[in-house]
Amino acid sequence: MTTRIGVVTFPGSLDDRDTQRAIRIAGAEPVALWHKDKDLKQVDAVVLCGGFSYGDYLRAGAIARFSPVMEPLIEQAKAGLPVLGICNGFQILTEAHLLPGAMLGNDHLHFICRDQKLRVENADTSWTSDYDAGQEIHIPLKNMDGRYVADEYTLDKLEAEGRVAFRYVDFNPNGSLRDIAGITNEAGNVVGLMPHPEHAVEPLIGTGRTDGLPFFTSILKKLVTA
């Protein structure tokens, strides 16, 4: 039985096709989900892709959070459905309160696009099990509102519970507190990060490496063995 992973497209999404391709390369079936869909078409997992949903008006992800597709997604994510939020998807997950904290404008007030070194801090989530804790990887990064912030209590809680999934190494590109590049929820089924693993799944594109592919093989193995 083929594993089906949904990819949501909002008005302003940019990386839905790239994400679908990454899922296909990993060996799963990508399923296109439209923001007005009121059901998730019985997919086994969902990816909220990068882009500028609704033009980032109000705040990045603030309007997309109220799209019809988010109602079943929030409900099922709380029940254990694996959800990955990439860049704008991460912003949407914080706006939907599936992940704590918030995303603000980069501290230098400029859009940034670069290959970024990350350290895998948590290799026990549904989306990171094909990595090793402490492993350093290179993933493309492109954002304007990528600065992760939270109050000290939340940051300490994330650290204590091992819920910082990824951390920037050598260079903090946007001023994210404690160099946080990605986090997970308590259950480990919901993960958000700012860099774009879907752009690092083939040697001919992105970084010229395949450091992003384990995101998609991790969830495939998780679902096959569940």
Query: Active-site residue numbers?
Result: 87, 196, 198
Task: Determine how β-strand 29-34 pairs with β-strand 45-48.
Answer: unpaired
Task: Determine how β-strand 164-168 pairs with β-strand 180-184.
Answer: antiparallel
d(CA 179, CA 170): 10
d(CA 96, CA 88): 12
Residues 81/87, Cβ–Cβ less than 8 Å: no
Structure tokens at 67: 């799209």
Helix boundaries (H) for the chain: 16-26, 70-78, 88-95, 152-160, 213-225
Return the biggest CA–CA distance within the chain: 48
Half-sphere exposure in the Cβ direction for 195 (13 Å, CA): 33
